[in-house]
Amino acid sequence: PYLDGLEDILTSLDDSFVLSIQINRPKARNALRTNLLKELADTLDKATHDDMVRAVVLTGGAKVFAAGADITEMADKTPVDVMNDPRSGYWMAIRNFPKPMIGAVNGFCLGGGNELAMHCDVLLAGTNAQFGQPEINLGIIPGAGGTQRLTQMIGKSKAMRMVLSGQFMSAHEAEKAGLVAEVCEPELTIDKAMALAKTIATKPPVAARLAKESVLKASDAMLAQGIAFERRSFATLFATQDKAEGVSAFMEKRKPTFKGQ
C-alpha cells in the first residue's frame, strides 16, 4: 500500500506515477464514515507532496462507489456538532488536492458519495452506476457542496429534480447531462480510468496542475458563497424532528413520516 495502517481505503502506487485509491467498506456500501474521509485526506496530503504521484484514480470498486455519509455515525449529531465536525477539514483537503484525479464509478454513487465523485476532475461510469442526492429522505440536504457542484454540472432543472425528489439518475442520463465524461461496461471502468490517468501522468506535471487549477477557476469564485450557505443550512436541519424521523426510519427500515417540524 501507499500508506500503511489504513482501514477504510486501499491504496497503491504504480511505476507510471498513478496512485490508485479504492474505498473499501463493502458491508456498509462504502459509506463515508469520518475515519474513511480522514484516510482519504491523509493519502491525498501525502500525494500532494510526492513527485512519484502525478495522477490519481479514485474508485469504490466493481459494485458501489459510495452510498453517502455514514448515516449511523451522524444520527445523534446536533447543529453545533456539525459545525465543529472535523469532516469539513477532510473535505477541504480533498477539494484542494492539486493533481488530476479521475473517478471510476460503478453502482450507487449517493449523497456524500456523489459529492466526493464530483470532487474528481473527470468521471467515468459503468452502465450500472446510479447517481443521487437522497439526503431529503433523511430530512436534510447535501452538505459537502452537492447543491452547488451538481447545479453547475447538470443545470438547475435536473439538479433540483435530484435534490428535491431524491430520485436517482442512471449512468446514461448522467453522461447526457454532463456529470460524467464517458459510460462503459462496469468491468472496464477502472481500467479506463487507469489508462486516462496514465496518459495524464505522461504530461508535464506543473502544466497539469495549473490546467486543473485554471479549469476550476471557471467556477470557484461563485462556489465559495454557495458552499458556505449550504453548509449552514445543512447544520440547521440537524435541529429538526424531521431529520430525527428520517434517520430513525432508515435505521429501522421503514417509511418516514415528515411533519415540517
Decide: is 69 part of the binding site for ligand CO8 (CB under 6 A). Answer: yes
**Binding segment toward ligand CO8, per CB under 6 A, in 11-19, 39-47, 62-70, 218-226:** 62-70
Nearer to ligand CO8 by Cβ, of 68 and 100: the residue is 68
Decide: is 242 part of the binding site for ligand CO8 (CB under 6 A). Answer: no
Cα dist from 261 to 76, 77, 137, 188, 250, whole Å? 17, 17, 15, 46, 18
Helices (H), 96-240: 112-119, 146-154, 156-165, 171-177, 189-201, 205-237
CA distance 112 to 131: 11
Q: Binding ligand CO8 by CB under 6 A: which of 53, 58, 71, 197?
A: 71
DSSP H/E element including 239: none
Nearer to ligand CO8 by Cβ, of 85 and 175: the residue is 85
Decide: is 134 part of the binding site for ligand CO8 (CB under 6 A). Answer: yes
Residue, CB closest to ligand CO8: 111
Task: Give the residue numbers marked as catalytic.
Answer: 69, 112, 115, 135
> Order of strands across the sheet with 55-59?
9-13, 18-23, 55-59, 101-105, 122-126, 182-184
CA distance 162 to 135: 10
User: CA 41, 175, 119 angle in degrees (round to 5)?
Assistant: 15
Decide: is 181 part of the binding site for ligand CO8 (CB under 6 A). Answer: no
Nearer to ligand CO8 by Cβ, of 19 and 120: the residue is 120
Decide: is 72 part of the binding site for ligand CO8 (CB under 6 A). Answer: yes
Decide: is 60 part of the binding site for ligand CO8 (CB under 6 A). Answer: no
Burial zone of 127 (CB within 10 Å; 0-12 exposed, 13-18 middle, 19+ buried): middle
Q: Binding ligand CO8 by CB under 6 A: which of 53, 67, 179, 196?
A: 67
Nearer to ligand CO8 by Cβ, of 103 and 111: the residue is 111
**Binding segment toward ligand CO8, per CB under 6 A, in 83-91, 129-137, 183-191, 224-232:** 129-137
CA distance 247 to 258: 11
Which three three-digit cell numbers place residue 98?
Answer: 492539486
Nearer to ligand CO8 by Cβ, of 16 and 78: the residue is 78
Decide: is 100 part of the binding site for ligand CO8 (CB under 6 A). Answer: no
Cβ 25 to ligand CO8, closest distance in Å? 9
Decide: is 85 part of the binding site for ligand CO8 (CB under 6 A). Answer: no
Nearer to ligand CO8 by Cβ, of 47 and 74: the residue is 74
Residues 6+ apart with CB under 8 A from 165: 136
Decide: is 108 part of the binding site for ligand CO8 (CB under 6 A). Answer: yes
**CB contact burial 20-59 (16+ within 10 A = b; e otherwise):** bbbbbbeebbbbbbbbbbbbbbbbbbebeeeeebbbbbbb
Q: What residue ranges bind ligand CO8 (CB under 6 A)?
A: 28-29, 31, 67-72, 74-75, 108, 110-112, 134-135, 137-138, 140, 143, 247
